[in-house]
Amino acid sequence: MLVVQNILANKERYIKALAKRNFDAAPVLDQVIALDEDRRATQAQLDNTLADSNKFSKEIGMLFKNGEQQKANLLKEKTAQLKENSKDLSAKLTEIQEQLAELLYTIPNIPHDSVPDGQSDEDNEEVFKEGEIPKLEDGALPHWELAKKYDIIDFELGVKITGAGFPVYKGKGARLQRALISYFLDKNAEAGYKEYQVPHLVNEASGFGTGQLPDKEGQMYHVTGDDLYLIPTAEVPVTNMFRDDLLQESDLPICCTGYTPCFRREAGSYGAHVRGLNRLHQFDKVEIVRIEKPENSYKALDGMVEHVKDILRELKLPYRILRLCGGDIGFTSALTYDFEVFSTAQDRWLEISSVSNFESFQANRLKLRFKSKEGKKQLAHTLNGSSLALPRVLAGILENYQTPKGIKIPEVLVPYCGFEYID
């Protein structure tokens, strides 16, 4: 959520920057400014009314003490009216503050200057590519066929139990999943991220805190009986551990990692591009989250990108990095890098990670601040990244590592799996 003071100071710059997102900010920012003016005027009226009420209350005591009952009673009537006025002003102030908050919730984050112009994912900018795309034997299969051939993932059984998008992993497929989770967590821990196990359901305040709510796209599963939400990513519960906190500068940076299942409705996702593991309603993911001082956050973002690169190098998967354009970047993000692995059998790139800096956007919603050594309180910066999402990593391994003998396990995963081939 944007800070009102920053909107007042940077209105024209924000309008221009948000145009990158194809967001017409001018009328919304004008409304914010008008509401803020009304809020400040109402607050001033309320403060003056309360001050007068307190002043008269003291005078009433003195008048009664001096035997001036008539004057005292007149002031009592004025004080009673002031108290009624203060109630009305308090109610008005609350209403204005709620309207202002609701309006601010509709405004996306200001994109970083390096975010390219563009309308859709077709306009994203490739900034890095690494790894050799393997040449497969004739008759190479996509991962959903390999899953069936080696009996390691059962998509039909998932439909029977729940519905489409909820696969069942079996035998060596389940063990490979577990191996990937353990490997990712170990790599993150070695890089200084503290591991957490967090709830898989969150309350409404947590959803608002990290920007998943209000859920305009209908992607979150809502448990209506308890008014809880299934998490779309570990980012939500992990970041919300620090909601309403006032940290010390010496506490930063805070680096967290966690594994969770993730749940997304993926409303409107149909077609061949979502076959198999390409898009699921439930999937596993290991996440990294950082809380940083503002001046360090972009250096931290670069470090997160290098960390994910290192994992993909060890897995020996061909990948590329995209800087997302204004039309494709997420609502809460100031700058996002997407990692994509090349699926040789499908002959297409598959997104496997997003690494983002939210600057103070989430922190303002979370009321997550830190106190500097000089005692100044300010909003922290939050960052997060997939390290990594499992389904498409698994799809890339199955397809790129298929051989006539079977599916070779990446060398770095063999100690975790306990086997070298799926055959």
Mark which of 51, 79, 104 sits at the end of a domain.
104
Three-state DSSP class for residue 36: helix
Q: Of 396, 358, 416, 385, whose CA–CA distance to 172 is shortest? A: 416
| Whether 191 and 216 share a structural domain | yes
Kindly state whether residue 19 falls inside one of the protein's structural domains: yes
Tell me what pLDDT residue 69 has: 75
Kindly state whether residue 113 falls inside one of the protein's structural domains: no
Kindly state whether residue 281 falls inside one of the protein's structural domains: yes
Tell me what pLDDT residue 215 has: 83
Tell me what pLDDT residue 62 has: 75
More confident residue, 216 or 127: 127
- What is the mean pLDDT of the segment spanning 73-85? 82
Among 88-102, 147-161, 181-195, 268-282, where is mean pLDDT lowest? 268-282
* Number of domains making up the chain: 2
| Whether 65 and 171 share a structural domain | no
Using one digit for the tens of pLDDT, what is the confidence trace for 149-164? 999 999 999 999 999 9
Binding residues: 233, 264-266, 287, 351-354, 384
| Whether 218 and 276 share a structural domain | yes
| Whether 141 and 93 share a structural domain | no
| Whether 180 and 94 share a structural domain | no
CATH of the domain at 46: 1.10.287
SS (H, E, C) 359-391: CCHHHHHHCCEEECCCCCEEECEEEEEEEEEHH
Q: Of 310, 395, 318, whose CA–CA distance to 355 is shortest? A: 310
| Whether 38 and 146 share a structural domain | no
pLDDT confidence tier of residue 267, bands split at 50, 70 and 90: low
Binding residues for L-serine: 233, 264, 287, 384
Residue 154, judged by CB atoms within 10 A of its CB (0-12, 13-18, 19+), counts as: middle
Tell me what pLDDT residue 139 has: 87
- What is the mean pLDDT of the segment spanning 168-196? 98
CATH of the domain at 309: 3.30.930.10
pLDDT confidence tier of residue 54, bands split at 50, 70 and 90: confident
What percent of the chain is predicted at pLDDT more than 90?
86
Residue 206: how many CB atoms within 10 A of its CB? Answer: 22
Mark which of 77, 104, 131 sits at the end of a domain.
104
Q: Is residue 124 predicted with pLDDT exceeding 60?
A: yes
Backbone angles phi, psi at 412, to 5 degrees: -65, -20
Tell me what pLDDT residue 268 has: 56
| Whether 57 and 137 share a structural domain | no
Q: Which residues contact 26 (CB under 8 A, 6 or more apart)?
A: 15
Average pLDDT of every residue of the chain:
94
Binding residues for ATP: 264-266, 351-354
pLDDT confidence tier of residue 77, bands split at 50, 70 and 90: confident
Supply the range of the domain harboring residue 239.
121-422
| Whether 91 and 165 share a structural domain | no
Tell me what pLDDT residue 396 has: 96
Q: Is residue 58 predicted with pLDDT exceeding 90?
A: no
Kindly state whether residue 184 falls inside one of the protein's structural domains: yes
What percent of the chain is predicted at pLDDT more than 70?
97
Kindly state whether residue 116 falls inside one of the protein's structural domains: no
Residue 383's beta-bridge partner residues?
290, 357
Q: What angle do CA 252, 256, 261 make, to 5 degrees?
A: 155
Kindly state whether residue 111 falls inside one of the protein's structural domains: no
Tell me what pLDDT residue 317 has: 97
| Whether 284 and 364 share a structural domain | yes
Using one digit for the tens of pLDDT, what is the confidence trace for 184-242? 999 999 999 999 999 999 999 999 999 999 887 789 999 999 999 999 999 999 999 99
pLDDT confidence tier of residue 143, bands split at 50, 70 and 90: very high
Q: What is the pTM of this model?
A: 0.92
Kindly state whether residue 147 falls inside one of the protein's structural domains: yes
Q: Given the structure tokens 């997302």, which residue do they identify?
A: 324
Q: Is residue 148 predicted with pLDDT exceeding 60?
A: yes
Give dist(CA 135, CA 317) in Å, integer: 13
Tell me what pLDDT residue 103 has: 96
pLDDT confidence tier of residue 269, bands split at 50, 70 and 90: low
Compute the Cα dihedral for 111, 304, 258, 146 and give only its sign. Answer: positive
Residue 405, judged by CB atoms within 10 A of its CB (0-12, 13-18, 19+), counts as: exposed
- What is the mean pLDDT of the segment spanning 6-14? 97
Tell me what pLDDT residue 272 has: 55
Using one digit for the tens of pLDDT, what is the confidence trace for 314-366? 999 999 999 999 999 999 999 999 999 999 889 999 999 999 999 999 999 99
Q: Given the structure tokens 């100044």, which residue do they identify?
A: 376
Tell me what pLDDT residue 80 has: 83
Mark which of 78, 104, 130 sits at the end of a domain.
104
| Whether 250 and 299 share a structural domain | yes
| Whether 215 and 318 share a structural domain | yes
Tell me what pLDDT residue 138 has: 85
Kindly state whether residue 88 falls inside one of the protein's structural domains: yes
Q: Of 382, 191, 193, whose CA–CA distance to 288 is shortest? A: 193
| Whether 179 and 290 share a structural domain | yes
